[in-house]
Structures are given as structure tokens and as C-alpha cells.
Amino acid sequence: MIGTMVLALCGVSWTGVLLARNPETDAKLKGALANFQAVTPEMLRDTANADLLVELRSLAAESDATPAHVLLMKLGDESAIQSCVNRLHSDRKKMAMNQLMLAGNPKIISFLSGEFNMEERGEGTFVGDQLKFPVSMNAAWVVKTIIVNSPAFSVEVREWAKALPELSPALRAAVRAWWETNKAALLREDYTAVVAP
């Protein structure tokens, strides 16, 4: 079945022709993409959706401006996470940041550790009329957003993250210190063991 969808994500329009292997898979794919924020990892892990995962991976390989990336990162797909983290170093960094935050998977934090630990200048700079922040500060902002919105972390940790400053060297320093305190728990994905510094 051929269906054309126009979806907006992060201010980028994406138009694609969906060629699912059968009408049922096509319907699942359309539903998942249209309602990507409501799709849970449990839904994606359901064995009845194995065909959907194949199609999502295929769609993600065709374009980085698709909600398929968000869905795969929600699931914890390491290839999708790494691809999105890599885009933080490109002119598509704003879309990548939004996709990482929409996915909200705490697993993303360990993939971002190299980025928020980069040694870079301390503040944003104007490029034309736009303020641009270094990759390390953008990565720290993504980490803060994931912590605040993730029920995987304790209320205490989420409240600590809420109180962190906006994009700034202080935010980056706080995220770095938090990472060092919780690195082992984050790497083993034991988010209940994570503490506020």
C-alpha cells in the first residue's frame, strides 16, 4: 500500500512515500508516525509490532527528519541514538536536540557524555542575529530536559534538575558533576540508583 504523509517535527517538514509490506503494517506505521509522542517503548517491544520496527528502521535510514528516529530512540535503539548525537555537531543540531528530548530515554544520557564533557568556550556566540551555543552546553541542556521529564528518575533527582540554570557554563558544570557521581548507575541503566549531587 502506498501512502503519502506530511509530518512536522522540530519545524522541519518531511514528506515521504510509505511502502509497507502489507496494509496492516502500513496502517501501524502511519499511526505510529502520526502519534509518535504517545507511542511507548512497551508498544514498540510488543512482538506483534516486529514488522513496524523493520519499517521504522528503513524510514530512519532514508531521512533524519522523521519521527521514526524518535520512536527508535524511545526504544533504546543504540544506532538511532548515536546517529542523533552525531548530528549535534552539524547544521542539523537543533533538530537533533529536539529529537533527543522528545525521545526522552535516559539511556541517551550516557551517549551524550562525550559531548557535555567536551572542552569548549564557556558561552554562546552570535552568528548573524542568532545566538549559538557550543555542543557541550546543548548536550547538557538535553540531559537536563531528559532528567526533568523522565519518571525513571526519583522525584528528588528531577527536582534537582529543574533547579539547574538555563543554557550556561554553570549548567554544563552541574551536569558534568552529576555524571561523575552517577556514571556507574547510568551506564548499567539503573536509574533508581541515580542521586542528586
CB burial class (10 A; 0-12, 13-18, 19+) of residue 129?
exposed
185 and 113 in a single domain? The answer is: yes
Q: Which helix (H) or strand (E) holds 69?
A: helix 67-75
Question: Is 101 a domain residue?
Answer: no
Cell triple for 181: 557521581
Question: Is 130 a domain residue?
Answer: yes
Using pLDDT thresholds of 50, 70 and 90, give the confidence band for residue 115. Answer: very high
Contacts of 182 (CB under 8 A, 6+ apart): 193, 194, 195
Global pTM reads: 0.83
Q: Which domain holds residue 171?
A: 106-193
pLDDT tens per residue across span 17-31: 445 567 888 888 888
pLDDT score, position 129: 73
d(CA 95, CA 104): 14
The answer on pLDDT for 122 being more than 80 is no
Half-sphere exposure of 9 (CA within 13 A, CB side): 29
Using pLDDT thresholds of 50, 70 and 90, give the confidence band for residue 4. Answer: very low
What would the mean pLDDT of 80-102 be, rounded to a whole number? 94
Give the lowest-confidence range in 33-37, 122-126, 160-164, 193-197.
122-126
15 and 56 in a single domain? The answer is: yes
pLDDT score, position 117: 95
57 and 115 in a single domain? The answer is: no
pLDDT higher at 60 or 6: 60
User: Which residues of the chain form beta strands (DSSP E)?
Assistant: 2-9, 12-19, 125-127, 130-132
d(CA 185, CA 93): 28
74 and 118 in a single domain? The answer is: no
Question: Is 170 a domain residue?
Answer: yes
62 and 120 in a single domain? The answer is: no
- Number of folded domains that form the chain: 2
Across 1-10, 48-57, 115-124, 151-160, the highest mean pLDDT is recorded for: 151-160
